[in-house]
Amino acid sequence: MAPWFGLAKCRLSQKSYTTTVIAVGILAFVVNGYLAAMSATSAGEFSWLQKLMSAATYVIAFLIGGLLRDVTDAVDSDRAGALGMRSLAAVLALATILEGALSFTGNLTAMAALSYKSTSLISFALAAASLLFAATRRSASGNPRTAGVIVTLSTATLGFYVMQSLTSSLWRPVSNTLLANMLASQNSPAAICIITGTVISIVFALALLIIDAARSLIVRKLKRQ
């Protein structure tokens, strides 16, 4: 899909392209909402279509991110940067305080409703704030080393998303047993489970980051030879 959108961006005026992306974004939001509602009442009958829409939504999200960058480039960079920084910091602080309070009080139902999976309210707020933060940063294209780090981190992040799904049959039983034992213990509240799960995720992501960095280094050396 990405090359077709790239061709459209080259052929359409900026105003027409902006209008098209916004319209497609709204349509994707409506379709995703409809599929989520239908899937909830039909025992996952539309799950295959949800997976296709997930891929399409990724492309649309990148397009909307590009439009946001066009908007922030047109305003004062210092003001935009400050807005992006403060918005992300505020959302992070509020999310941490709220999740911490819910975990220490053992209100797991509310936690699941607010933060379970990427479709939750907190995940959406964090994603929106992160996008605004990224769109208001000064361009790093003039610094090859910084640009290389960004590309490596982006690849490893996507790799983590894919690998944790593909290898779930290996790590999930171990993780579920570990966390279930913690919950069963009176001295291990839900907060400890959240910290443990976060540490496991970070270790998993770092392992993939190291593997991807090594792969990039090998590829660069082979190209030089």
The answer, as to whether pTM is greater than 0.75, is no
Average the pLDDT over 197-203 and give the result.
84
What pLDDT was estimated at residue 89?
93
Q: What angle do CA 96, 100, 101 make, to 5 degrees?
A: 120
Residues of the chain above pLDDT 70, percent: 87
Contact by Cβ (8 Å): 122, 99: yes
Reply yes or no on whether the pLDDT at 44 is more than 80: no
> Residue 225 gets which letter from DSSP?
-
Contact by Cβ (8 Å): 87, 129: yes
Average the pLDDT over 87-114 and give the result.
86
What pLDDT was estimated at residue 40?
67
What's the one-letter identity of residue 81? Answer: G
User: Can you read off the two tokens belonging to residue 148?
Assistant: 């290389």
> Residue 140 gets which letter from DSSP?
-
Residues 6+ apart with CB under 8 A from 2: 59, 62
> Residue 117 gets which letter from DSSP?
S
What pLDDT was estimated at residue 76?
67
Reply yes or no on whether the pLDDT at 141 is more than 60: no
Residues 6+ apart with CB under 8 A from 44: none
Residues 6+ apart with CB under 8 A from 47: 39
Reply yes or no on whether the pLDDT at 176 is more than 70: yes
Q: How far apart are CA 110 and CA 87, in angstroms?
A: 24
Reply yes or no on whether the pLDDT at 169 is more than 70: yes
Q: How far apart are CA 215 and CA 162, in angstroms?
A: 17
What pLDDT was estimated at residue 46?
67
Burial class, 37, CB count within 10 angstroms (exposed 0-12 / middle 13-18 / buried 19+): exposed
Average the pLDDT over 105-114 and give the result.
81
Average the pLDDT over 183-204 and give the result.
78
Please indicate whether residue 81 or residue 16 has the higher confidence score (pLDDT). Answer: 16
What pLDDT was estimated at residue 86?
92
- pLDDT category, 93, cuts 50, 70, 90? very high
Q: How far apart are CA 132 and CA 95, in angstroms?
A: 17
Average the pLDDT over 104-112 and give the result.
81
What pLDDT was estimated at residue 186?
64
What pLDDT was estimated at residue 193?
78
Going by C-alpha positions, the residue among 18, 33, 107, 102 that lies closest to residue 63 is 18
Alpha helix (H) residue ranges in the chain: 2-11, 14-41, 47-73, 77-104, 108-115, 121-135, 144-166, 168-184, 190-224
